[in-house]
Structure 1
């Protein structure tokens, strides 16, 4: 039920953090993994780690904010594998600043990288997935449902991902494509480590609010990704699943 043998999965931003954790989990379940990211050197490092699990793992240097680059990404996957079964839209950035201090260029950069790329990749993957069904997993955030004074653009992009997930789920259900979102809590990555230096008291606040009593790690995302990518979730679409140690259930 949870086997991904012979399935082909592309993970945007899959060369580090949550993306690499998900890529690792999918590879362990038998999927052939494609990492799509801008940093070629970082992708090669991730690929070396994945190759011990998936001999057919590959990395494609891609700017997921570029419509033509995304189209070419899907074409390369089709030429190599002839199919695309799983898309994980994980690529993302953040700029931590009060809304009044954000420039329009900074706002657009975050929205384009996080939200527009999710749309571009899903749209490009649709024709291949329509052939035999598929799974799209969009990576949201706690800020898909909560507000934060320091992340207006990031929160807007992640809230948009949640609504886009629901719209695509409804639109593509007749094509046997399930579209769901994962909402990570505070996961220990390079992105959040930077936040701990920028936001005084963040580490202590997270621990106090999280019933599990710890920050998450990228491998905490492996299980939910395998579930949503596998036949076990065939009747689940348009859902948003928190992976947050209880953060969203706590007051």
Structure 2
């Protein structure tokens, strides 16, 4: 019987994190690296990736970077090619890359709808399919973690949030997670999702500036928003053998917002 330290260890494991150059993606990449995993982070901008690599190197994390735009169909194959070249195989995949667009539903541009859907759910399917076929299924082992959102669990309250495509895409991520877990469990692959609440990020900066942290905290049972440590624990649970009997689940990390 292994100790809890051994169950949570990722020594010798490899991981690919999309949207890994900043914010939640970088936090999760750091968590994996701190437990011993070698990580490939992917994002669109090389400058952001270089900064993230320096951040990870300072913390003794073994990491590589791949610049790629996952809104393009060919990008998933290119990314997995590059990740496998550096890692040899992929034990852990975190699908974190995403986008949002705010506009009233009656005026929502079709190009905005397509942009959000293509990155938030189409690219997750493409990357997961490529990693599954080329690494996880042949090895009969793997962990996939999809980043959903509490926006995928409910609609928006009255107010400035006008994000119909984002909410719809994140609801799709949740059911994609359930469905893929059911299909790929036979290959020893666990598929789970994390549904963050409000965390400071580039994506949420506009709303944070408009509403303010104090106002946002009023509706959170724990009276706080997420910070740069709050996804680490659940990431390690889903990525490690500590969570080997958990699949098809979505865990909200939101201070209790979705529970009330």
Normalised-by-shorter TM-score class: over 0.9
CA deviation profile, 1:154-209 (whole Å, cap 9, x unmatched): 001100000100110001000000000000011121221211235xx464443111
- In 2, the alpha carbon distance for the partners of 1:135 and 1:162 equals 16
| Uncovered stretches (5+) of structure 1, i.e. residues with no partner | none
- In 2, the alpha carbon distance for the partners of 1:43 and 1:209 equals 34
| Uncovered stretches (5+) of structure 2, i.e. residues with no partner | 1-6
Equivalence for 1:138: 146
Structure 1 window deviating more from structure 2 (144-153 vs 13-22): it is: 144-153
- In 1, the alpha carbon distance for the partners of 2:122 and 2:153 equals 19
Would you say 1:159 and 2:171 are equivalent positions?
A: yes
Q: Secondary structure at the match of 1:165?
A: helix
C-alpha contact 1:64 1:120 (8 A) present in aligned 2: no
Superposed counterparts of 1:132-211, under 5 Å: 132-148=140-156, 150-198=162-210, 201=211, 203-211=213-221
Residue among 72, 85, 95 paired with 1:66? 72
Would you say 1:217 and 2:227 are equivalent positions?
A: yes
- In 2, the alpha carbon distance for the partners of 1:161 and 1:202 equals 28
TM-score by length of 2: 0.91
Residue among 239, 244, 247 paired with 1:237? 247
Please give the root-mean-square deviation of Cα atoms over the aligned residues, in Å.
Answer: 1.4
Equivalence for 1:106: 112
C-alpha contact 2:200 2:208 (8 A) present in aligned 1: no
TM-score by length of 1: 0.95
C-alpha contact 1:207 1:213 (8 A) present in aligned 2: yes
Change in CA separation of 1:104 and 1:208 when aligned onto 2, cut-off 3 Å: same
- In 1, the alpha carbon distance for the partners of 2:177 and 2:215 equals 29
- In 2, the alpha carbon distance for the partners of 1:147 and 1:204 equals 22
C-alpha contact 1:62 1:73 (8 A) present in aligned 2: yes
Equivalence for 2:13: 7
Change in CA separation of 1:55 and 1:140 when aligned onto 2, cut-off 3 Å: closer
CA deviation profile, 1:192-241 (whole Å, cap 9, x unmatched): 1211235xx46444311111111111321011101100001111100000
Number of matched pairs? 248
CA drift at 1:88 = 0.4
Q: Secondary structure at the match of 2:99?
A: coil
Change in CA separation of 1:16 and 1:196 when aligned onto 2, cut-off 3 Å: same
Would you say 1:31 and 2:15 are equivalent positions?
A: no
